[in-house]
Structure 1
Amino acid sequence: MMVVLGLVGSFFSGLLGIGGAIINYPLLLYVPSVMGVAHFSAHEVSSISMFQVFFASLAGIIGYRTSGKSSASIHTELVMYMGSGILVGSLLGGWVSGYIQGDMINFIYGILAVLAVILMLIPNRGTEEQNSKLNFNKSLAVGLAVLIGMVSGIVGAGGGFILIPIMIKILKIPTRTTIASSLAIVFVSAIGGLIGKISGGGIPLWPTLFTVMGSVIGAPVGSILSAKINVNVLRYGLIVLITCTAIKVWSSIL
């Protein structure tokens, strides 16, 4: 079951440029418990998710590189600026999460999911074209990345589900560039979050291992398909995905 859950989350990770935690978090929190296989606390789920995000994003990046599609190329400068900011934030968030109650972690996740949906529903007036000489506000990009890293480090996510709409709507990054580059930024974020989680302890070893196995299988497949799918399909697919998981988490919280 853990392999399947990791595969599903990582498939959407590669397809939509997210780390996969936006769907894996509720899956790990509810499915094993409903099936009577295991029951994970919010802290354990956030730890498993962070490991899954790390390996899924790495596998997804490899999938983009091997797909041979120039339209899905990763923008190096964008990754360097936002990656450095999100690394600092995720390190801090991953460490702080060990001192936060499980209900609060779920609450933070629910807020992020709703915010992501709202941002994605705002009409996009930017270009969808790939631009090697991309212009963006570097200071704003770094500042936003630090904030995203902090909150995503708390819930065990790479931050891709909130990073993507912010890159598209606020920084005005073309959608395909955003989806490809965000996966690399999420990978950097996962490094910081992973260090924070390990320092906090309480990581379930075997469930994490099997989830990672599924992640490595699913992410490259999603990445290759992403380069061949219409950009509007990708955007609205992400909206539907985040909305469904947000409804489930908020129904549990309420």
Structure 2
Amino acid sequence: MLVQLVVMIFIGIVGSFFSGLLGIGGAIINFPLLLYIPPWFGLEAFSSKEVASISMLQVFFASLSGMITNRLGSRGGESYVHKRLVIQMGASTLVGSLIGSLSSMLMTSETINMIYGILAVIAVLLMLVPTRASRENRTVSEVTYHSWMAMGAAFIVGGIAGIVGAGGAFILIPIMLTILKIPTRITIASSLAIVFLSAVGGVIGKVASGDIPLWPSLFAVVGSLIGAPIGALISRRMNVRLLRYGLAILIAFTAVKIWLDILG
């Protein structure tokens, strides 16, 4: 039990740290950590269903914790979270994800993996598009965007996220940065809140299915509550260009792995 406690808390800290740092739900990182690390320490391996359940809980609490930390540590007392953007994109993503998850039952695994791989490549290219420095200095109250475009993009991404079983933040963030032209720090803080809203439905579904291992999940959640605020705090002190390149590298690794699986 002690080894399991340490391992699961460690996994929770690592996954949620990058969640808070880069504004993603963390499922891209959590899933392989949960799948491969426990057996390295002589623990029983989790099934894919168990990994998905633990990861969903981690995403829920990590995004909530990182979102709160970002909101409390804003410039001049103003939150980095754009409330209207979160409500519009969060609701659209949730609806799209539900439709996508139902549609995925009609698709083959190869088709789903190819959709994921194509989107990951597009996300990397979008992340490499430079933004104007003047845009990065805007506060939440100064940010303007096209509401219908934001909701439409979130709905589409939510549908795709439902198909491939990912949180979708790794696509939403490049769209918010490049198409909606939202400043990087506001994008990262707001994307955590959007992921949180999307994760609510996922957690309800996992609890109802009964696939959640109780103690490992609780240990991972404890780690998530530690790591996400640390990542969020560091995020606010890092150069925004480093944040963009860091996220691009993370997505690139994901894209390479997916295409190796497809072509292998």
Shorter-chain TM range is 0.7 to 0.9
Separation in 2, partners of 1:197, 1:94: 14
- The counterpart of 1:51, out of the listed 54, 57, 60, is 57
Q: Which residue of 1 aligns with 2:126?
A: 119
Residue 214 (structure 2) aligns with? 205
SS for the counterpart of 1:19 is coil
Structure 2 residue 251 is matched with structure 1 residue 245 = no
Rounded to whole Å, the distance in 1 between the matches of 2:213 and 2:177 is 36
Stretches of structure 2 that go unaligned for 5 or more consecutive residues are 1-6
**By how many angstroms is 1:231 displaced?**
0.4
Is the alpha carbon distance of 1:184 and 1:149 closer, same or farther for their aligned partners in structure 2, counting shifts above 3 Å?
same
CA change 1:92–1:209 in 2 (3 A) is farther
> Deviation of residue 119 (structure 1)?
1.8
Aligned-residue Cα RMSD (Å) equals: 2.8
Query: How do 1:122-141 and structure 2 match up within 5 A?
Result: 122-125=129-132, 127-131=135-139, 132-141=141-150
The corresponding residue for 2:3 is none
1:34 is displaced (CA, Å) by 5.3
Distance 1:223 1:236, change over 3 A: same
Larger Rg: 2
Cα distance 1:96–1:83, how it changes in 2: closer, same or farther (>3 A)? same
Judge conservation of contact 2:71–2:189 (CA < 8 Å) in 1.
no
Task: Tell me, yes or no, if structure 1 residue 149 matches structure 2 residue 149.
Answer: no
**CA distance 1:104–1:8, shift in 2 (3 Å):** farther
**Contact kept? 2:80, 2:190, Cα under 8 Å:** yes
From 151, 171, 185, the counterpart of 1:176: 185
Q: Which amino acid aligns with 2:70?
A: Y
Match of 1:84 in 2: 91
Find out whether 1:66 has 2:72 as its counterpart. yes
Structure 1 residues 41 and 117 mapped into 2: Cα distance closer, same or farther (>3 Å)?
A: farther
**1:30 maps onto 2:36 in alignment:** yes
In structure 2, the CA distance between the partners of 1:87 and 1:108, relative to structure 1 (3 Å rule), is same
Q: Is the 8 A contact 1:156 1:193 kept in 2?
A: no
Instruction: Indicate the larger mover: 49-58 or 61-70.
Output: 61-70
Instruction: Please say if 1:2 is aligned against 2:11.
Output: no
Residue matched to 1:75: 82
Distance 2:136 2:259 in 1: 33
Q: 1-side partners of 2:118 and 2:214: how far apart? A: 29
Q: TM-score, normalised by structure 1?
A: 0.85
Q: Say whether 1:190 aligns with 2:199.
A: yes
* Number of residue pairs the alignment of both structures matches: 254
SS in structure 2 of the partner of residue 135 of structure 1: coil
- Identify if the C-alpha distance between structure 1 residues 96 and 22 changes in structure 2 by more than 3 Å, giving closer, same or farther: same
Q: Partner letter of residue 82 of structure 1?
A: M
Instruction: Determine if contact 2:72/2:79 at 8 Å carries over to the other structure.
Output: no
User: Deviation at 1:125?
Assistant: 4.6
SS at match of 2:127: helix
> Structure 2: which amino acid aligns with 1:21?
A
Q: Which AA in structure 1 matches 2:84?
A: E
Q: Which residue of 1 aligns with 2:4?
A: none
Report the 3-state secondary structure (helix = DSSP H, G, I; strand = E; otherwise coil) of the residue aligned with 2:144. coil
Task: State the shift of 1:142 in Å.
Answer: 0.8
- State the shift of 1:51 in Å: 1.3
Alpha-carbon separation, structure 2, partners of 1:111 and 1:60: 29
For residues 168-205 of structure 1, what are the alpha-carbon distances to aligned partners after superposition, in whole Å with 9 as ceiling and x for unaligned?
11112121211111111111111122234444553333
CA deviation map 1:63-87 (0-9, x unaligned): 1123243586111111121111112
